[in-house]
Chain A
Amino acid sequence: MTLTEPETYIELGAPLTDAHDSVWQRLGQCGTWWTGEQRVAAMAEVRQALRCALCNERLEALSPMMVAGEHDSVSELAPEAVDLIHRLTTDPGRLSKEWALLVIESIGEEAYVELSTLVCVQYVVDSFARSLGLPLRELPEPQFGEPDKVRPEGVGDVGAWVSQTIEKSLANVSRAGSLVPETEALWREIVQAHYSRGPQFAELVWDRALSRPQVELLASTVSALNECFY
C-alpha cells in the first residue's frame, strides 16, 4: 500500500495552500463589524467548540434547545456570539430561524453574517487540514483597526433569514454573505479555490484528478451527513 506523507500533500496541493495563506491572514484583519482581535477570538472559539461539553451534550439530544447551559468558551465575546460560533461549528443542520433571529437581535444582522462567514471560511481551511492529517494552522495575529460598520447598498429581503444582495446573478448560496462584502470576498475566494474554479463550474465534465460525478458524490455525502437541505 502506498501512502503519501501528509507533509507531501502540502507540496502537491500548492495552489490550495496559496489560497489558504492569502485568506488566513486576512481573517485576522479588522472586519466591517468586528475588530481583528474579536475575529481571531472567534477563530479560537471555532476550535474550542469541538471540545465543548455543552455542544457534545446537545449533539446527543433530540433537540439542541432541550439542553441548557454555558459553552466552554475561551474568549470574551458575548454569549450570543459564542453560541452562534459553537452551534454553527458543531451542529449546523439544526439551526432554526427563531434561534437565528434571537442572536441577530442581540449582536446585529451584519455582525451575525460576518461572524457566520468567518466561521465558514475557517472551517473549510481546518477541515482540509484534518482530512489530510495535516496540523492545523496557528491562528493569525490580530491586526489593528476600527470596524467602519457600513452596510452596503443593494441588499434586502430575498427570503433568507438575513438580508442579501437583491440582484440574483448566481446561486443563492453564493450571495449568502453579501451583507458583508469584504468578508464575503474571502468566502468566495476559498470556494473558488476548493470547488467551483471560475467558468469550470458551468461545465458538467471536469478535467481534474477526480471526475465531476466523483466530486459531486463527495459533495452529496457531506451535505447528507450535515443534514443540509440546500
Chain B
Amino acid sequence: MLRASSEALNSEVDLEQLEAGADVANGELLVRYAESAVRQDSDLGRVRAALEEQVGPGGVIEAAATIAAFEGLNRIADATGIQLDSGLADESADFRAALGLDAYAGAVSTQSTGIPARAAGVMEIFR
C-alpha cells in the first residue's frame, strides 16, 4: 500500500530504506515516532513534539491512530494465522525476500508465495 499510494502521487518510495523514511515526506520523523510509540521509549514525548512541529497536532493524532490500528491489526492477523490474500501475495512477491519478511514466523501460514504482479487498485490487492 505504501508503494501503490506513493505512485498515485507520482512519487517513488525506497522500500529498502524504511528506517530512513523511504523518501516519504517527514518519513524519518514518522518512523521514529512509530518506533518510540511501539517500544514505549522514554523519548516518546520529545519525538511527538518534534513531529508536531512538522505535521501539526492533527497529523500527530492521525499518526497515533494509525500506529494503534496496526498494533491491533498485526495482533489479530498473528493470533488467527490468516494467509496473505492472493493479490497481496502477488503484489509483495518482488520485495518480501529482499526485506527479510519471508523469515517472519507468520510467513508459514501462507501457502502461496505469489507471482510478482502489480494490482490495478486497492481492492484488487485484497482479492
Chain A interfacial positions (CB closer than 8 Å to B): 1-4, 8-9, 12-13, 16, 84, 88-89, 92-97, 100, 113, 116-117, 119-121, 123-125, 127-128, 130-133, 159-162, 164, 170-173, 176-177, 187, 190-191, 193-195, 201-206, 208-230
Does B126 contact A228, Cβ atoms closer than 8 Å? no
**Alpha-carbon gap, A125 to B80, bound state (A):** 20
Q: Which of B15-33 contact A (CB under 8 A)?
A: 18, 21-22, 24-27, 30-31, 33
Q: B68 near A95 (CB under 8 angstroms)? A: no
Other-chain contact of A203, B55, B88, B122 (Cβ < 8 Å) = B122
- Given A214-B24, A218-B34; A208-B62 close (CB under 8 Å): yes
Q: Is B4 an interface residue (CB 8 A)?
A: yes
A228 to B105, CA, bound (A): 8
CA distance A210 to B83 in the complex (A): 29
Q: Within the assembled complex, what's the spacing in Å between the Cα atoms of A219 and B26?
A: 15
B18 touches A218 (CB 8 A): no
CA distance in complex: A4, B84 (Å): 39
What residues of chain A lie closer than 8 Å to B104, measured between beta carbons?
93, 227-229
Partner of A229, one of B22, B71, B109: B109
A209-B56, A228-B104, A230-B106 in contact; A160/B71 too (CB < 8 A)?
A: no
Write the residues of chain B forming the contact surface with A, with a CB cutoff of 8 angstroms.
1-2, 4-9, 11, 13, 18, 21-22, 24-27, 30-31, 33-35, 37-40, 44-45, 48-50, 52-53, 55-85, 88, 101-102, 104-111, 121-123, 126
Question: Are B126 and A171 in touch, CB under 8 angstroms?
Answer: yes
Closest CB-CB distance, A100 to chain B, in whole Å? 7
Bound-state CA distance A207–B44 (Å) is: 27
Interface centre among A116, A121, A213 (most CB of B within 10 A): A213
